[in-house]
Structure 1
Amino acid sequence: MKVALALLVASTAALDRKLYGVDYDIRTSEWGGCKQEWELRADFQAMKTVARNVRVYGTQEPCISRVLKVAAENNVRLWLGLWGNIYANQDAFDSQLITFKRLVAEGRIRNDNVVGMHVSSEAMFRYYIQDKHDWSDREGTFKLTSYVAKVRTFLRQHGLNFPVSIADVMDAYKYTPGLYPAVDVVAANQFSQWENVWAKDGVNTMFDRLKNIQASSRAAGKQILIAETGWSSNGSFPSIKEATPESSGVYLKDFLLFAEQQNLNFYYFSSFNLKWGDDSAFGLIEKNWGLFDQNRNILPHVRSVVVGKPQKAVRLWHNGLVIKVDGANTRTEGRVYLDLPTTGLTDSLDREVWFYDEDHKTFRSKSTNQCLDTFVDDAGVSQLHVYWCDVTNANQHWDFHADGSYEIVSVPQVEVAEVATTTTTVAPTEAPTEAPTDPPTDPPTDPPTAAPVNPLAKYYAECGDCRNCQFFTPYYSLCYANWGPRDCGLMPKSTHRWCGSLPAFVPVPPKAAPTRRPTTSTHRPATRPPQPTPSTAAPGVFLGPKASEVRVPVGVFVSLSETSPGKCIRSNDGLLQVVPCSFDDSTKFSIRPFETEEVTIKIAGTDWKITESFGRVVATTLSKVDSVHPDSQTWFYDPLAKTIRSKTNSQACLTLVEDKIHGAVQGRLCDADNEFQQWSYNDLTGQIYYMEKMGLCLATDGPNQPLHVQFCDITVQNQKWVFELAHHGKKKQAPLPCEYNNQPAPATLAPPVQAPATAVAPTTTTTVAPTTTAAPATTTTAAPTTTAAPATTTAAPTKTRTRRPLPSPSCEWTKETVADVGGKLTFLELDTKVAGEGPAGDAISAALTSITGSNSYPSIWIGGKYIGSSDKIADLDAAGKLTDLLQAAGCL
């Protein structure tokens, strides 16, 4: 009977997402015990249907040997635990560490079957929160961090590359900043259900608790692991608002989407409902955290969870600027504005990441986990902001109407066959995808070019005789007369297509542009067809499938709100408004998926760019390698799919190919289910985290050296990577250095004035044909048009002071960005300032860096916008440092 049960899994999982991991209790009762091998085997057969990894809490025999054996049989990797405790009479760390070391010596614990471990689980919660010890008592903390150090030393000595951590509640990390440098991974538990909230608000509550921990973790260069989270499906308790199967399913669905978008690995609590415990109201809470029932059947409310198709990570562009939202730990959290796309190590990338839900027509901000929303204020004016996401809230629904023009986001710098027609030029059909291989012995040659495919055949087969806007259904079609591409583009794309002149406009099918494997950005008019320049691939470079030109449509965002129906988002002097649609340039935006935007990736402060050739990936410069094709240093980073894809070999993604310390990273065939291709970027420290086995970062040993992974360390220069958009927004002119003289100063300080808007011309890219080998495209940048600064308005003086004049533009920024309050200079928050331009350019930045003693250049205030996670401007105000700051910059 036991043999039959061991092979029985009563049902299969229906979840449309594979969980990173689940928590698993190997006990047979509340007081201990160990499940038999046949029970473990049946449990693992069920768990592997929903999760890749399993987390256990202790390393006691005979349980751990059984677990290691059964996990290997089911190709499941483990997160191990040692039962360390602050109270000596409950501490099993030493005895379990002895067992752990023996299993390592026997080769039963290895890099390929273990993904991490912790030295304690909620020991700080029991000591500091339940038993109310003061957080200033660090003795318990020091004991646990010493355990981490001891285990880490052993792991490194034995070539084991998995992380070690302290698993505890979020408050433990919130009140004990000394944990961050001590652990390899921040392992935090969060159960929003205990905080008297509805299930629909459970993830929002988690995000609110997580914000401070995220900021501290990013600054320390440590990934966050949600070690435990879940929602009980039965029982009651005064601090729990609901515990039902329906509420449990709601939280599971919301959390899976949240973890996917925030790049969080997690272990869901828990795998199975417990067999022990009483049936009191509280007892039922404790027994019903499982995804499976006691007989290993997946629970109906879990089976019914469907997260849906992955949303798309996008930027929302307007004339070289992107829509951003200030996130947590800024003084302007939730502010929606236009700004240049981020560059450098600024900790601001998340502000411009939006998750586009095509089905519900919503845009969720990564920095706030809230959705783009419009509402009507008390004055009857429609306002734009972000608010907690709710797919039933019409204020968050936006329809994108294409106007017929488009932007070319990525242009291949490889040979592109021309179509045998005088009206248009297109790229050839992509060849079948094959995994990158080692370079051949003989010099490679370009594969034969496929016969040109004339797009007109299929195009006119769809349009028939129509040469204008066509209304179509599966059963019939109608052809309009005297319409233009813009008129047709404003109609529903599911039933209308443009069949007029191809050179004027080739409509992009609504779900085909851009696709999952795309490529970054130049605004082109609708009447100009793409003009790829013929070029010869540099010898020795495996190009793989030809890169294709990627376009995105330009159009308007129309609100579907019941209170603002038919209104559009408009940029007015840099401010975003919701107004009646005018369809002029101020309302034109584009949605560019990250997976289509070209980036180069280099070590900060160097020209060592990541370069791909025949699957081999190195950090080098064009000057260091002969005949490197420029596309081989171009990549596509998708923060949602967590992939870094090559442009030259358009189906090759960065892949960890050796699961060991200093394991090699190479280009391999992109596979959405391959966890060894998942990476996440920290744009504060520059680290590129390897996601599947946490605590490892992408690194290089120097120029022309292969990429590999190392233990993450923010002090290692060769782990500091900078992502640069190949097609960046137009930069504004930088202000001149501060200047002053000894002439008499004006008697009063002018009140703050909003900086004038700067008109930005779209980027224009011209590709120059090389004579022999392929060369990088030559970019010709149109000069930005700057609106003349208005005269400064002087208000009635409040206090008379003698100051040096501020003649230079940079000091004018300063003048506009401070106010005279009681004789002390105080910074104001002006939304439109840009890094490098205000309040007084590099001089102010350097002075602030000097005054605060910060060694992180971006951790400063520039033009009222906070960058970084320390040196708050309020502290400078309180300390009276602003006058010193301006004097050091030469502006006073």
Structure 2
Amino acid sequence: MKVALALLVASTAALDRKLYGVDYDIRTSEWGGCKQEWELRADFQAMKTVARNVRVYGTQEPCISRVLKVAAENNVRLWLGLWGNIYANQDAFDSQLVTFKRLVAEGRIRNDNVVGMHVSSEAMFRYYIQDKHDWSDREGTFKLTSYVAKVRTFLRQHGLNFPVSIADVMDAYKYTPGLYPAVDVVAANQFSQWENVWAKDGVNTMFDRLKNIQASSRAAGKQILIAETGWSSNGSFPSIKEATPESSGVYLKDFLLFAEQQNLNFYYFSSFNLKWGDDSAFGLIEKNWGLFDQNRNILPHVRSVVVGKPQKAVRLWHNGLVIKVDGANTRTEGRVYLDLPTTGLTDSLDREVWFYDEDHKTFRSKSTNQCLDTFVDDAGVSQLHVYWCDVTNANQHWDFHADGSYEIVSVPQVEVAEVATTTTTVAPTEAPTEAPTDPPTDPPTDPPTAAPVNPLAKYYAECGDCRNCQFFTPYYSLCYANWGPRDCGLMPKSTHRWCGSLPAFVPVPPKAAPTRRPTTSTRRPATRPPQPTPSTAAPGVFLGPKASEVRVPVGVFVSLSETSPGKCIRSNDGLLQVVPCSFDDSTKFSIRPFETEEVTIKIAGTDWKITESFGRVVATTVSKVDSVHPDTQTWFYDPLAKTIRSKTNSQACLTLVEDKIHGAVQGRLCDADNEFQQWSYNDLTGQIYYMEKMGLCLATDGPNQPLHVQFCDITVQNQKWVFELAHHGKKKQAPLPCEYNNQPAPATLAPPVQAPATAVAPTTTTTLAPTTTAAPATTAAPTTTTTAAPATTTAAPTKTRTRRPLPSPCDKNEMDANTTHACVGFGATWCEACEWTKETVADVGGKLTFLELDTKVAGEGLLTENHSILYIRVEYCTYFT
């Protein structure tokens, strides 16, 4: 009954971000005790709605056994604690370590259910700050670091890959540099509320306290974990400026955004309001740190927190230079300037990272956690600097006005062998909407149904009519439905090949789905894409559709400040100014998302580049470069999403596939919710941190060896990676205005033998990435000529459509069957995700509002009918859409 009641009252969370973790108190009173199993179960049911991991403070029985059991039931992982202390009469380290070792021996503490542990919690705070021992007294520090060493040795001996640390206040790490080499992770607590600041300044205060720790931890090659932070929602105290539900909500929202942008894992303090304690002003402070009330209901001010859609990590480019801001621990902190983009191990990448908030039109610097801002000085001159972010401050709002030119930031290098096309007058039919019942190895019960034919695309001759993943043998072949090139690429290459259509292909209105005769197979269709085994090798070629060219518009940044309205950012001999807009080259900039900029990743001092080949990721050498396609060594690193995505397999991200010491890292289908794909780069030491389980870094054993993770160590050469931009982009002028006749013209669905004059000319070649050596003609697979279906397939009835007016200016020669670009809106802004416009709305003076979009038929330059309408902002009709 108690369990049922507890589950009934537990509420569903409404946060739009999943927390990395929450702190959890398993006591029943201030003096100890242990919650019953039914209470723990109800608590975990609530906590798992807001967080992936839970942090506890001790390893005493019977609590820890109950916690391990209930956490496993709820698929929640734990950060464990041992109650070590500098004072001997308060130190429970030895007894709890005995319990910990027993649980490891029993298989109840493992790599898959524990993400880390600490040996003490604020022991240094109590000893050095509360009891005022001098920081030069190292006896207490040595005691705790010896605990870390003892636990780490035991973990390594038993194959456990999670980190061990000392959790304490930031001042403990600030004044004790010996902690950095001793711990695996820098676990620091920060409560800005105690520092007499408003909630809106709480995160800024944390950033100030974090500066020195960030510098020291980066140099030591250690990640930072915020072990405790929060904001009490009730009570009062002389050093606390505000403690209300509203202020607690403000801090939570700001902190979640801050942690996301600074790549900080954290445990939020705390999960539940306490049931014990008095109702004095100070007592209320101590009781009201929770996200949930005492009855496990999420608190209203927590439920109302909405962080908003993720912002974009971008660089701001101008003629081969990028806008930078000097960060903490520099002599010129806050200086805004133009410079070459970062190369090598310089500890300066953060200076050129900006977080673009499309809704509020702001740019936040990662190095200072401040926003690009303009103000008028005492002499009446507009100045450019960075200042604490405030979405209500118009001085930080910037409009980007495209001028019609653009820069190419990612160029497809994939080549596919040319194949002659076959003329057909049969209307295309829609692909089956369900996967085939039989697995690939079952013989067909019917001749395989061909996927739809797109007469505008060119395919491999071996594929016949198949337009998806094809299973083939010397005797027969099968064509799958609804597979992607990524899924097909994970299958054995000796029996599978990709024959799919180009990404821009739009199916015509649906026809009746083809059917198959019943099968006696007892196998069930796969419910997820097939996964490779670590030992499966694959050729270094790309068999999927041609990669897309990525462009970004060039334009001017216009200030929306009330004191500097209509002024633009200008470069003057490397200096940045805010002046009246002149729209000349000195005011032209571009916004390039990190996720679009090509990089190569190699071990420092070597030519070992990370190379992807259908899931098998290795570090190869330049001497082997002729054996792989250049795109297989090209990646996209997004420091905000924390992903490293392949170019050659555009939906594949680096993923930890084995949660163990030396666990394998391979390419897997990118998934924003997959924590095993999250990585963060330290460009001072060259380490690529694995984010979900801290203390692990990406490594390789040498050239042509698979990637894996190992314990982070700045002395290991094979953990030192260098990110190099592939190219800085090429600027192209705006296309000339179109010369289209806007009068309606009839067209038919049935594809003609020759493309009409107004249609976009199809690409004449489709190329296949070169392999190591050319295949001898004698070993080439025999080509089978496939003809159009006989009279059993009837042509679709002819249907008439009218040609819609095209926007101007634009260049019809830029349109082809391989792209989804379209020129829309003000200044011929080019959009990666846009199609032909249906309607545009613009004010006099070029202030753009919204536009309605319809869908373009690939290669025809026509609009389909009865498709849903998309809405986007015209002024940001770029990659961001």
> Which sits farther off after the overlay, 141-150 or 625-634?
625-634
CA contact (8 A) 1:193 1:202 kept: yes
Counterpart contact for 2:469–2:497, Cα < 8 Å: yes
Distance 1:384 1:130, change over 3 A: same
How far apart are residue 548 of structure 1 and its match? 1.2
* Residues 545/125 of structure 1: CA separation in 2 closer, same or farther (3 Å cut): farther
Residues 657 and 665 of structure 1 are in contact (CA less than 8 Å); yes or no, is this contact kept in structure 2?
yes
1:638 corresponds in structure 2 to 638
In 2, the alpha carbon distance for the partners of 1:534 and 1:209 equals: 44
Q: CA deviation at 1:744?
A: 84
Which whole-Å deviations, capped at 9, do the CAs of 1:817-866 have from their partners, x for residues lacking one? 9999999999999999999999xxxxxxxxxxxxxxx9999999999999
Once the 2 structures are TM-superposed, how far is the Cα of residue 547 of structure 1 from its aligned partner? Answer: 2.2
- Structure 1 residues 696 and 491, CA, compared in 2 at 3 Å: closer, same or farther? closer
Q: Counterpart in 1 of 2:866?
A: 856
8 Å Cα contact 1:613/1:632 also seen in 2 = yes
SS at match of 1:794: coil
Evaluate the alpha carbon distance shift between residue 621 and residue 127 of structure 1 in structure 2; reply closer, same or farther with a 3 A threshold. Answer: same
Q: Distance in 1 between matches of 2:844 and 2:457?
A: 72
Greater mean alpha carbon deviation, residues 515-524 or residues 578-587: 515-524
Change (3 A) 1:184 1:201: same
* 8 A Cα contact 2:11 2:298, kept in partner: yes
CA distance in 2, matches of 1:141, 1:856: 71
1:3, distance to aligned residue in structure 2 (A): 2.9
Check conservation: 1:752, 1:818, Cα contact below 8 A.
no
Contact 1:745 1:805 in 2 (8 A): no
Q: Which moved more, 1:820-829 or 1:696-705?
A: 820-829
**Aligned positions of 1:649-798 closer than 5 A:** 649-728=649-728
**Secondary structure of the equivalent of 1:420?**
coil
Q: 1:507 to 1:45 in 2, by over 3 A?
A: closer
Deviation per residue, 1:46-86 (Å, 9 max, x gap): 00000000000000000000000000000000000000000
Quick check: 1:425–1:529 contact (8 Å CA) kept in 2? no
Contact 1:522 1:763 in 2 (8 A): no
Measured in 2, the distance between the counterparts of 1:672 and 1:496 equals 28
Distance 1:8 1:515, change over 3 A: farther
Q: Deviations over 1:650-684 (max 9, x none)?
A: 00000000000000000000000000000000000
Query: Aligned pair in 2 of structure 1 residues 34, 808: CA closer, same or farther (>3 Å)?
Result: closer
Deviations 1:680-712 (A, max 9, x none): 000000000000000000000000100000000
Is the alpha carbon distance of 1:473 and 1:370 closer, same or farther for their aligned partners in structure 2, counting shifts above 3 Å?
Answer: farther
CA contact (8 A) 1:399 1:560 kept: yes
Displacement of 1:412 after TM fit? 1.1
Question: Are the counterparts in 2 of residues 185 and 694 from structure 1 also a CA contact under 8 Å?
Answer: yes
Compared CA separation, residues 89 and 604, structure 1 to 2 (3 A): same
Give a deviation string over 1:527-550, Cα, whole Å, max 9, x none. Answer: 999999999999652444542111
The 3-state SS of whatever aligns with 1:530 is coil
User: Are residue 98 (structure 1) and residue 108 (structure 2) matched?
Assistant: no
Pair 1:413–1:451, CA change in 2 (3 A):
farther
Alpha-carbon displacement from aligned partner over 1:483-535 (angstroms, at most 9, x marks no partner): 99999999999999999999999999999999999999999999999999999
CA contact (8 A) 1:698 1:707 kept: yes
CA deviation vs aligned residue, 1:382-430 (integer Å, no higher than 9, x gap): 0000000000000000000011111111111113799999999999999
After TM superposition, give the deviation of residue 350 of structure 1 in Å. 0.2
Paired residues of 1:539 and 1:627 also in contact (CA < 8 A): no
Structure 1 range deviating more: 223-232 or 439-448: 439-448
- The answer to whether the 8 A contact 2:570-2:576 is kept is yes
Q: Is the 8 A contact 1:322 1:338 kept in 2?
A: yes
Match of 2:852 among 829, 834, 844: 829
Q: What is the deviation of 1:623?
A: 2.7
Counterparts of 1:768 and 1:670 in 2: how far apart (Å)? Answer: 24
Task: Check whether the contact 1:320–1:730 (CA below 8 A) recurs between aligned residues.
Answer: no
Matching residue within 838, 841, 862 for 1:818: 841
- SS of the aligned residue for 1:764 comes to coil
In the alignment, the residues of structure 1 paired with residue 108 and residue 469 of structure 2 have an alpha-carbon distance, to the nearest angstrom, of: 67
Distance change >3 Å, CA 269–CA 751, structure 1 → 2: farther
Q: CA deviation at 1:264?
A: 0.1
**Contact 2:376–2:563 (Cα < 8 Å) also in 1:** yes
More displaced, 578-587 or 778-787? 778-787
Structure 2 distance, partners of 1:475, 1:387, is 70
* Residue 454, structure 1, aligned to residue 464, structure 2: no
* Structure 2: distance between partners of 1:565 and 1:519: 71
Distance 1:157 1:495, change over 3 A: closer
1:11 to partner: Cα distance: 1.5
The answer to whether the 8 A contact 2:324-2:337 is kept is yes
Structure 2 CA distance for aligned equivalents of residues 369 and 337 of structure 1: 16
| Per-residue deviation, residues 356-378 of structure 1 (Å, max 9, x unmatched) | 00000000000000000000001
How far does residue 621 in structure 1 lie from its aligned partner after superposition? 2.0
Relative to 1, partners in 2 of residues 1:557 and 1:280: Cα closer, same or farther, differing over 3 Å?
same
For the aligned residue pairs, the C-alpha RMSD in angstroms reads 20.5
1:188 to 1:478, Cα distance in 2 relative to 1, 3 A: same
Partner SS, residue 731 of structure 1: strand
Question: Structure 2: 5+ residue runs without aligned partners?
Answer: 810-832, 877-881
- 8 Å CA contact retained: 1:236, 1:282: yes
Deviation at 1:184, TM superposition (A): 0.1
- Alpha-carbon distance change, 324 to 518 in structure 1, aligned in 2, over 3 angstroms: farther
TM-fit CA distance, 1:728: 3.6
For the residues of structure 2 that align with 1:602 and 1:535, how far apart are their CA atoms? Answer: 23
Q: Residues of 2 paired with 1:832 and 1:509: CA distance?
A: 13
Name the CA shift for 1:749/1:625 in 2 (closer, same or farther; >3 Å): closer
Conservation of the 8 A alpha-carbon contact between 2:681 and 2:687? yes
More deviation, 775-784/118-127: 775-784
Choose 717-726 or 534-543, whichever is displaced more. Answer: 534-543
For residues 161-184 of structure 1, the C-alpha deviation after alignment (integer angstroms, 9 at most, x for no partner) is 000000000000000000000000
Kept after mapping to 2: 8 A contact 1:424/1:529: no
SS of 1:865's partner is helix
Contact 1:431/1:546 (<8 A) preserved = no
Question: In structure 2, do the counterparts of structure 1 residues 550 and 454 end up closer, same or farther at CA, with 3 Å as the change threshold?
Answer: farther
Displacement of 1:339 in angstroms is 0.4
Separation (CA, whole Å) in 1 of partners of 2:485 and 2:614: 43
Shift of 1:475: 57
Cα distance 1:489–1:787, how it changes in 2: closer, same or farther (>3 A)?
closer
Residues 825 and 591 (structure 1 numbering): CA distance in 2 closer, same or farther, change over 3 Å?
closer
Gap change, CA 1:393 and 1:865, over 3 Å in 2: closer
Partner of 2:213, secondary structure, is helix
CA-to-aligned-CA distance 1:738-763 (integer Å, 9 cap, x gap): 99999999999999999999999999
Q: 1:864 to 1:363 in 2, by over 3 A?
A: closer
Secondary structure of 1:761's counterpart equals coil
Cα distance in 2, alignment partners of residues 564 and 492 from structure 1: 62
Q: 1:485 to 1:42 in 2, by over 3 A?
A: closer
Structure 1 residues 498-507 or 39-48, which shifts more?
A: 498-507
CA deviation profile, 1:267-326 (whole Å, cap 9, x unmatched): 000000000000000000000000000000000000000000000000000000000000
Would the alpha carbon gap of residues 802 and 683 (structure 1) be closer, same or farther in structure 2, given more than 3 Å must change?
farther
Any idea what the Cα deviations from partners look like across 1:220-267, whole Å, max 9, x if unmatched?
000000000000000000000000000000000000000000000000
Q: Which moved more, 1:405-414 or 1:61-70?
A: 405-414
Give the Cα–Cα distance (whole angstroms) in 2 for the partners of residues 344 and 606 of structure 1: 12
SS of 1:821's partner is: coil
Separation in structure 2 between the aligned mates of residue 112 and residue 780 of structure 1, nearest angstrom: 47
Shift of 1:627: 2.6
Distance 1:60 1:568, change over 3 A: same
> In the alignment, is the contact (CA less than 8 A) between 1:753 and 1:816 conserved in 2?
no
Question: How far is 1:8 from its partner?
Answer: 2.7
Do the aligned partners of 1:765 and 1:780 also contact (CA within 8 Å) in 2? Answer: no
Check whether the contact 1:620–1:703 (CA below 8 A) recurs between aligned residues. Answer: yes
**Shift in Å at residue 804 of structure 1?**
75
Percentage identity across aligned positions?
97
| Stretch moving more, 727-736 or 668-677 | 727-736
Moved more, 448-457 or 546-555: 448-457
Q: Secondary structure at the match of 1:261?
A: helix
Deviation at 1:5, TM superposition (A): 2.5
Q: Is the deviation greater in 413-422 or in 195-204?
A: 413-422
* C-alpha deviation, 1:2, in angstroms: 1.4
